Amino acid sequence: MSPAPKYQAVLFDLDGTLLDTAPDFVTAINRLLTRKGLPIPNPEKTRRMVSYGSVGMVSSAFDLDAEHPDFEPLRQEFLTLYLNNIVDRTQLFPGIESLLDSLEKHHIPWGIVTNKPSLYTHAILQQLPLPSSPSAVICPDDVTHRKPDPESIYLACNQLQVDAQQCLVIGDHIRDVQAGLNAGSTTIAAAYGYLDPDEDPHAWGAHQVVTSAADIAQYIFE
């Protein structure tokens, strides 16, 4: 007999949790730096900044704060470059494909709750083949308050027609865990994602911490 699922739905953060999008971010920021005649940073440094979005990545790469007059033009140029190569090297993290297959087999809906704007989120989902399709995709454009506010979790659960308390939320940033906790959901911290070296995902308050996406299934099925 196959194990019974513990949750009515599963919600994933996108970058660093469901998908390894960092390689395409690295390509875009390196192309921008090359255009400006600046040196290319260690790719691991860029990878760690992905969870901070375009603001964090451009700020780190150019050592500029968001109020600097050069900042926004650089950010827009970066985003254009990123959109042009958005799925060149992006892929599912190891273990995610089999997890999505298991969710589909058990008729458990899954969704994406991300702080990545819808333009880029939907461009990825339209161009990257997935083993199954998300039944809800919530971006910051869809809500008034971003994660860690629970609004996006509630909206996804409403679309999935499940109670937030019966939902599992998975993410590689403290804001993902906080959003899930604030919604009353069970949470998993994805320690395989884009963490700073001094970050401790065990301190985020998640119900579980996993170092590989392949470890998630054991917390869903019993």
Catalytic residue among 15, 20, 24, 176: 15
Q: Is the dihedral of CA 114, 108, 183, 138 positive or negative?
A: positive
172 tagged catalytic = no
- 68-to-59, 65, 71, 166, 172 alpha-carbon distances in Å: 10, 6, 5, 45, 29
Q: Is the dihedral of CA 141, 147, 149, 152 positive or negative?
A: positive
b/e code 47-62 from CB counts within 10 Å (16+ = b): bbbbbbbbeebbbbbb
63 tagged catalytic = no
Catalytic residue among 13, 20, 24, 176: 13
DSSP letters spanning 124-149: HHHHS--SS--SEEE-GGG-SS-TTS
Catalytically active residues, by annotation: 13, 15
